[in-house]
Chains A and B, each alone.
Chain A
Amino acid sequence: MDEKGKQKKNSKKRKRAVMRTTILAILIAAIGYTIYNSATAEDVTVLKVGDKAPNFALVDLEGNDHKLSDYEGQGVFLNFWGTWCKPCAKEMPAMDRQYEVFSNEGVQVLAVNIAQSDFEVQSFADQYGLSFPVVIDKTKSVMTAYNIRPLPTTVLVNPEGNIQRIITGEMTEQDIEGFMEEIKPD
């Protein structure tokens, strides 16, 4: 075979190799992506660490409006809870104590109750003497927006308004202190 023929053959071969590699790579990537999606489908992570925390507006027991965006520049310790949830009740006093410490340092605590009656929430707040604002998500819309499944779930929002961390389950006082430290503005 002459030189030209060989060259032609080689370029054809290269083209074929590139073509086959590309097609296989695309198909394998598609399969990989599908598996990844199916594996993560269980915990539909609409919200991820680093995402912008969805804004919301809820009313607290005193009738004051609380918008998440009002707290930009501060860290927001967003705690979703219910009176029937024992771990929620357990961590409340610790949260309250740490709130006393960090509220002067720019950390806001918002306790979001999931659609319970004013009476239940008010008596709970009175019983535990909670000093941070307690808001009630009557239509579960904030719960839906944040895709909250188990209670308690705590979402840490940093001063830039992004999600710093999502904690499901009960926290110790030490945890809470560490988390508040994490979202404290500089």
Chain B
Amino acid sequence: MEKLQCQCGHVNPPGTKLCESCGRSLTEKEQNSKLVDMRYEGTARRSQTYNKSIIDKVWNFFSSVKVGVGIIVFLLVAAAIGTILPQKAFVPANTEATIKDYYADTYGVVGQIYHALGFHDLYSSFWFIILVGMLAISLIIASLDRFVPLYKSLKNQRVLRHPSFMGKQRIYAEGPGAEDTLKKAEEKLTELKYKVRTDKNGLLAEKGRFSRWGPYVNHIGLIIFLFGVMLRMMPGFYIDESLWIREGETRAIPEVPGYYLENKNFELENYSGEGGEEIFGEALDRVGTVAKNYQTDIVLYKKKEDALPGAVDGQEVVKEYPIRVNQPLKFDGYAIYQMDFRLDELKAMTFSFINKETEDSFGELTIDLIDPKKDYELDNGYSVKLIGYYPDFSGFENGEPQTATPLPNNPGFLVKLFTPETPEGETSFITIQNTVEPLGENDYKLAFQSVETRDVSGLTVRKDSTLPILGLGGLIFMIGVAQGMYFNHRRFWIQQKTDGTILLAGHTNKNWFGLKKDLNQVVEYASLPAYTDQQDEIDKQEKAEKEGEVLS
């Protein structure tokens, strides 16, 4: 494309619509239209004009607002599809393979496709990230390409514009003026807080130019926001881990190096509907039990500076705190929330040592399921020796008892019972409600008496270092919106020809009513000729034409 030389002699970059210097229309379309298009001040969007290398082509692609809007539409549609089936975090499967099967089994072919395309984990799927990234690129490039020429154009604007430019502004007036008209207009406009520049026989009054930067400020906010979202995927910025901890246990906190948590006690309190809570009685009758409080009393330990993981004595108490719903434990940028619980996991079992025939008891013993001992001595030479412990007994394999997990869900004990009569001992294998005597009939047995239980608390460890960045992005976004929406860029051009005729043109990026209100004051004070709103004229004319068509 060629550079455009205006009649005034100024050379404009290719693609310019209005001469940068005098404001004459440079394209045929502009010349024929009744009003000029003042978007971007008639400057050439930069990339429209060069299209040579691949880089230029890519750049131009992203510079287009249409492309930007297209990307947004794609994102919206993808996000909408992502809500049709549950995301992978909410399906009852943990590993990649089982998740895949779950979608296939539950939703059939649709589920398979859904999973294959990555909709099951939308925000982490590579194409979604690419789309968001493309949106970011589009925002940056489209803004740069528009902001830079607009900024230059507004910075270098001339006071005197060609009459053809002025004549094509929406607010326009032409008529006789007095000798002091310009001077008085300048006075009044200055009073109205306009910045007024004069040149020979003309003046340019301008107010609120920063309103034009609103969209770009807004885009900067969005970019910062997207940057924050990107950081969330980096290790260390965002943590969301769960931690199951049993009463009495001390555990290292996942993803929080050097800290330990001890669960002293878990409590679940329900509304009783009695005493002061009678008022809830009706509701409780209707829905059953309602939880009043979930609480884990914890002790937070911090590893001493030089202590190693695993060392028992190397920790100091940081604080004791009751974690309750919405009252997380906060420390060092981390927060630990009460999320879940399991009540009454087995903790200890008490047995009575009895003679099978007479049912005489020779004492009781309690086996701690978490930390069982080897020997249990009773009075009068009776004793029990624990030979094998299988916390989650799952059957025999090659005659060997097996445990499925380390949790005492279904404890099994291989024990030897000693009495003064049977000093060699009798072997017996005990599980809940069942006793097996693998080496022949015994005279004695352990009879189950009672259990002790403990609760398990489900906690969530959270950290989000990106929140301040997201907040900043949001704030800048809003500043940009306010800047563009609640402030207007208003300009007046006034010229006085040698014969005393006044030419007046006015422009604003929005709120023409406000512009006219300002202008009315100036017109009155400086006796300027009456102005017309040419857009109104055009609208009226079009309306009349339409009505004419209807009538004919």
- Cα distance A24–B138 when bound, in Å? 10
Contact B260 A84 (CB under 8 A): no
Contact A35 B129 (CB under 8 A): yes
Which of B27-35, B250-258, B481-489 lines the interface with chain A?
B250-258
Closest to A45 in B: B235
Residues of B within 8 A of A117 (CB): 370-372, 389
- Cα distance A114–B405 when bound, in Å? 12
Residues A31 and B373 in contact in the complex (CB < 8 Å), given A83-B406, A84-B406:
no
Asked if B377 lies at the interface with its beta carbon under 8 angstroms from chain A, I say no
Contact A139 B371 (CB under 8 A): no
Residues of A within 8 A of B370 (CB): 117
Residues of B within 8 A of A84 (CB): 391-392, 403-406
Task: State the A residues within 8 Å of B (CB).
Answer: 13, 16-17, 20-21, 23-24, 27-28, 30-31, 34-35, 37-39, 41-42, 44, 46, 54-59, 67, 82-84, 86, 114-120, 122-123, 135, 137-145
Asked if B387 lies at the interface with its beta carbon under 8 angstroms from chain A, I say yes
Residues of B within 8 A of A13 (CB): 50
Contact B55 A24 (CB under 8 A): yes
Contact B406 A116 (CB under 8 A): yes
Give the shortest distance, in Å, between A175 (CB) and chain B (any CB): 23
Contact B308 A140 (CB under 8 A): no
Contact A141 B309 (CB under 8 A): yes
Give the shortest distance, in Å, between B232 (CB) and chain A (any CB): 9
Identify which of B234, B252, B309 gathers the most chain A CB atoms within 10 Å of its CB.
B309
- Cα distance A56–B402 when bound, in Å? 31
Residues of B within 8 A of A142 (CB): 309-310
Count A-B pairs with CB separation below 8 Å. Answer: 127
Contact B250 A21 (CB under 8 A): no
- How many residues on the B side are at the interface (Cβ–Cβ under 8 A)? 53
Contact A139 B254 (CB under 8 A): no
Contact B389 A120 (CB under 8 A): yes
Selected contact of A34 from candidates B133, B134, B254, CB within 8 Å:
B133
Interchain residue pairs with CB less than 8 A apart (21): A13-B50, A20-B56, A20-B59, A24-B58, A30-B133, A38-B126, A39-B126, A44-B235, A56-B310, A57-B308, A57-B310, A57-B311, A58-B310, A83-B406, A114-B406, A117-B389, A122-B374, A123-B389, A138-B310, A139-B252, A142-B310
Residues of B within 8 A of A39 (CB): 124, 126
How does the 8 Å CB contact mask read for B374-398 relative to A, with 1 for contact and 0 for none?
1000000000001111011000000
State the majority secondary structure of interface residues on A. helix
- Cα distance A118–B144 when bound, in Å? 67
Give the shortest distance, in Å, between B27 (CB) and chain A (any CB): 23
Residues A119 and B389 in contact in the complex (CB < 8 Å), given A24-B59, A24-B137, A30-B230:
yes
Identify which of B310, B372, B403 gathers the most chain A CB atoms within 10 Å of its CB.
B310
Contact A123 B230 (CB under 8 A): no
How does the 8 Å CB contact mask read for B126-148 relative to A, with 1 for contact and 0 for none?
10011001101100110010000
- Cα distance A20–B47 when bound, in Å? 10
Asked if B192 lies at the interface with its beta carbon under 8 angstroms from chain A, I say no
Residues A56 and B405 in contact in the complex (CB < 8 Å), given A20-B55, A30-B230:
no
Residues of A within 8 A of B311 (CB): 56-57
- Cα distance A59–B313 when bound, in Å? 12
Residues of A within 8 A of B230 (CB): 30, 34
Selected contact of B250 from candidates A27, A139, A145, CB within 8 Å:
A139
- Cα distance A42–B56 when bound, in Å? 37
